[in-house]
């Protein structure tokens, strides 16, 4: 099994590069305009646009890839940038893309991509399986630790997040001294963090990020890193708690740690 060839399907930012350094893939396929090609000079690198499904499948076949990991930020493309190839159009029809998008949205699109790859003999695996070193560990590895009452607030935050998850809404919650300041739905975590700055009474909000119960970690993992931490610092946040071993660290752990320590925030794996 370990001889199976592995590819990374790379979106933007550093995360796919960090995974590559750890798992030494046989091929990296970057999404045009999103992946950063200069990062991958030491690897066999190819590019496809988001709509070139035929080209993607051919690249995988030609290189005998049996396992693929999709990782990195994807900006929602404008339709004209999709550059659908013939295979993409055929598959969109065959797999009823219209119905998937209508009823399941972006999540459904990712699940569909996974299904198509698997139907072509390529297993889709999450970074958590390939490289546990990228994951948030258990407990606090920052100098500042959450206090006993912070741990209670975090627990309450997860209770709220799980209740939301059970009805398939959002993953993130901001809590301050037991008061739930905000709950994430379609606006995304950044907007949630910013909004809760203005609602804070200055006691230090805590960001909690959980999972939806049916969230497939092979295609969609919670991510935490410097961008989020910088935003939290602006808002006087006390710290962050995510699910240990189920949250990807987007940036080098030492950098994340030193930034958190410098600004007296905690990072806690629950």
- Residue 100: CB minimum distance to a copy of itself, A: 13
Nearer to a copy of itself, 112 or 130 (CB): 112
Nearer to a copy of itself, 173 or 249 (CB): 173
Q: How far is CA 237 from the centre of its chain?
A: 21
Q: Do 246 and 135 touch, CB atoms closer than 8 A? A: yes
Judged by CB under 8 A, how many residues of this single chain contact a copy of itself? 27
CB atoms within 10 A of CB 257: 15
Nearer to a copy of itself, 73 or 162 (CB): 162
- Residue 204: CB minimum distance to a copy of itself, A: 15
Nearer to a copy of itself, 32 or 162 (CB): 162
Nearest-CA neighbor of 203 among 178, 224, 221, 168? Answer: 178
State how far the alpha carbon of 42 is from the alpha carbons of 25, 70, 130, in Å.
Answer: 11, 19, 19
Q: Determine if residue 105 is left, alpha or beta; phi over 0 gives left, psi from -120 to 50 gives alpha, anything else beta.
A: left
Could you tell me where the DSSP H helices lie in the chain? Answer: 15-23, 53-62, 86-94, 97-119, 127-130, 148-166, 189-199, 226-234, 253-262
Nearer to a copy of itself, 30 or 170 (CB): 170
The angle subtended at Cα 218 by Cα 168 and Cα 67, nearest 5°, is: 155
Nearer to a copy of itself, 42 or 191 (CB): 191
Strands 248-249 and 223-224: parallel
Applying CB under 8 A, among 105, 121, 132, 139 the residue interacting with a copy of itself is 105
- Residue 64: CB minimum distance to a copy of itself, A: 40
Nearest-CA neighbor of 60 among 83, 29, 87, 38? Answer: 29
Residues 156-185 that bind a copy of itself (CB under 8 A): 156, 159-160, 163-164, 166-170, 174, 178-185
State how far the alpha carbon of 36 is from the alpha carbons of 28, 72, 197, 214, 247, in Å.
Answer: 11, 10, 32, 31, 23
Applying CB under 8 A, among 41, 186, 202, 213 the residue interacting with a copy of itself is 186
Nearer to a copy of itself, 15 or 192 (CB): 192
- Residue 237: CB minimum distance to a copy of itself, A: 15
Query: One symbol per residue from 190 to 209: x for binding a copy of itself (CB under 8 A), - otherwise; what is it?
Result: -x---xx--x----------
- Residue 191: CB minimum distance to a copy of itself, A: 8
Binding site for a copy of itself (CB under 8 A): 103, 105, 156, 159-160, 163-164, 166-170, 174, 178-187, 191, 195-196, 199
């Amino acid at each position: 099994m370990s001889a199976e060839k592995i590819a990374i399907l790379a979106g933007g930012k550093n995360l796919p590069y960090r995974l590559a350094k750890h798992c030494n893939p046989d091929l990296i396929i970057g999404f045009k305009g999103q992946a950063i090609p200069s990062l991958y000079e030491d690897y066999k690198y190819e590019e496809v646009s988001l709509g070139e499904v035929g080209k993607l499948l051919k690249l995988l076949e030609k290189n005998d890839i049996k396992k693929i990991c999709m990782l990195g930020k994807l900006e929602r493309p404008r339709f004209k940038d999709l550059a659908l190839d013939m295979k993409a159009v055929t598959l969109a029809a065959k797999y009823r893309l219209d119905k998937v998008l209508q009823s399941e949205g972006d999540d459904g699109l990712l699940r569909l991509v996974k299904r198509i790859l698997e139907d072509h003999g390529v297993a889709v695996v999450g970074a958590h399986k390939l490289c546990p070193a990228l994951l948030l560990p258990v407990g606090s590895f920052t100098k500042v630790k959450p206090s006993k009452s912070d741990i209670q607030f975090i627990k309450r935050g997860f209770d709220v997040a799980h209740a939301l998850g059970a009805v398939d809404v959002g993953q993130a919650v901001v809590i301050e001294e037991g008061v739930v300041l905000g709950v994430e739905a379609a606006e995304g975590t950044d907007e949630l963090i910013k909004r809760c700055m203005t609602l804070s009474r200055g006691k230090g909000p805590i960001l909690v990020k959980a999972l939806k119960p049916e969230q497939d970690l092979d295609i969609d993992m919670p991510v935490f890193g410097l961008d989020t931490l910088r935003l939290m610092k602006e808002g006087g946040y006390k710290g962050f708690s995510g699910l240990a071993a189920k949250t990807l660290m987007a940036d080098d752990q030492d950098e994340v740690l030193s930034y958190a320590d410098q600004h007296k925030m905690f990072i806690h794996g629950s």
